[in-house]
Amino acid sequence: MPVYVYTAINRDGKDLKGEVEAADQVKALEIIKQKGSFPTFVKEVAAGVNLQRLSGTSGGVALKEAKPFNLGTLFGKKRVGEKHLVNFMQQFSTLIASGLPVVRSLNILKSQTGHKFLKKVIDDMNDAILAGGSFSDAMQKFPAVFPRLSIDLIKAGETSGAFDVVLARLAGFMEKSRRIKQKVVGALIYPSVVISISMAVVIFLIIFAVPKFTILFKDLNVALPGPTLFLLALSHFAKSYWYIAILGIVGIAFILNRLSKIERVKYYMDAVKLKLPVFGILFQKIAISRFSRTLSVLLSSGVPILSALTAAKEVCGNKVLSGVVSKAYDDIREGELIAQSFSRDNVFPPLFVNMIAVGEESGHLDKSLSRISDIYDDDVDMMVSSLASLLEPILIITLALIVGFIVVSMFLPLIKLLDTLSV
């Protein structure tokens, strides 16, 4: 009967190596799982081959050593987009749920993907796993590809022996996050196009149309009104010193970018975001939704509440909310109720706090958090759609006012001249 060597992870999260006799690879997988372990690599070998030699601890090396990740591969088009990453996780989750080994699943995905850098990532991950590492260890070699949260979740799944379950939850989590982001971006496309067209029209009028009137005004013996003088000065500056405007915009963007790196400044900027009319509520709901869903996935995957809070606060995207989570962490560690710790500072709304209290009392905090994220996702969807509909007439009216101001300013001298001639 064929002999299969394998590496696996037991329920305590420890790496195991061994060999089994089975009719085929599928039977070998079943035997390993029956022992309470999760296989990460299974390979048929000739009878009598020394397992230690195959594991690379002595003698020749049958398992490939992990190739170090080359930072130079990040240059050029060396990134994995969110869409490709989500598809990878969904397909990988499906293959693992079907009972295929990790290495074989990765090989299948490698042959199917058309993303060159993702092929390189999968290839290097395979090498790391074949050398005896776990899937989470392989992910850690690519911090620019896999978010820290996904690595922590996978590690928790490996430790608890529920790798396939956690992987499915992670794939669903990433898909929902991408869907929400797509809705927000999609709703902002039309306003962005209108704003871009409006700016192009205004710039064209100021740089090309207004100077034509300047020649006409020189021949008129009439004092120019204030709006016209302002528009002519603006046109002259835009045409003669356009590079100063560009440098100014780039400089302001650079300064704001640098300031946003400072923790204290970032905190105040996020605080201002939450106080903005209408948009403040939207930013708050997006942050709470991301936090709730992340915490729900972590808790349902067996991550302790304190560790889950530490990981989940990093995805809030708002320093004010992260600060409240940090305070809640300290309170919960001291034995305070979770809901009570989140009620401080009135940053998290009553709905969130009350549902946390219900989940805490019922013992199903992860389900309550999942429900919270669903509620806020729906609210965000409706708010974004409403704001997009509201922005359309506002942008059109604003464009009309700007163009109207330019036209009126240009014709005011002519109107004034006609009034003078009629007297």
End-to-end CA distance of the chain: 115
Kindly list the distances between the CA atom of residue 239 and the CA atoms of 209, 212, 213, in Å, as whole numbers in the listed order.
Answer: 11, 13, 14
For residue range 196-216, what is the model confidence (pLDDT) as tens digits? 888 888 888 888 888 877 777
pLDDT of 357 higher than 80: yes
pTM score, whole prediction: 0.63
The stretch 31-45 carries a mean pLDDT of 72
pLDDT of 54 higher than 60: no
Residues 6+ apart with CB under 8 A from 325: 291, 309, 312, 313, 316
Enumerate the β-bridge partners of residue 325: none
Nearest one of 280, 37, 50, 284 to 162, comparing CA atoms: 37
Q: What is the CATH number that goes with domain 176-423?
A: 1.20.81.30
More confident residue, 189 or 275: 275
pLDDT of 77 higher than 70: no
3-class secondary-structure state, position 39: strand
Would you state the pLDDT for residue 363?
Answer: 86
pLDDT-derived band of residue 57, with 50, 70 and 90 as boundaries? very low
Q: Where in the chain is the domain with CATH 1.20.81.30?
A: 71-146, 176-423
Report the run of H or E that residue 42 belongs to, with start and end. strand 38-45
For residue range 292-304, what is the model confidence (pLDDT) as tens digits? 888 888 888 777 8
Contact 395, 194 (CB under 8 A): yes
Q: Given this structure, which CATH class describes domain 71-146? A: mainly alpha
The amino acid at residue 252 is I
pLDDT-derived band of residue 395, with 50, 70 and 90 as boundaries? confident
Tell me, what DSSP letter sits at residue 58?
S
Mean pLDDT score across all residues of the chain? 79
The stretch 89-102 carries a mean pLDDT of 85
pLDDT of 263 higher than 50: yes
H helices within 147-278, ranges in order? 148-160, 163-204, 210-218, 226-240, 242-259, 263-275
Nearest one of 151, 186, 174, 380 to 293, comparing CA atoms: 174
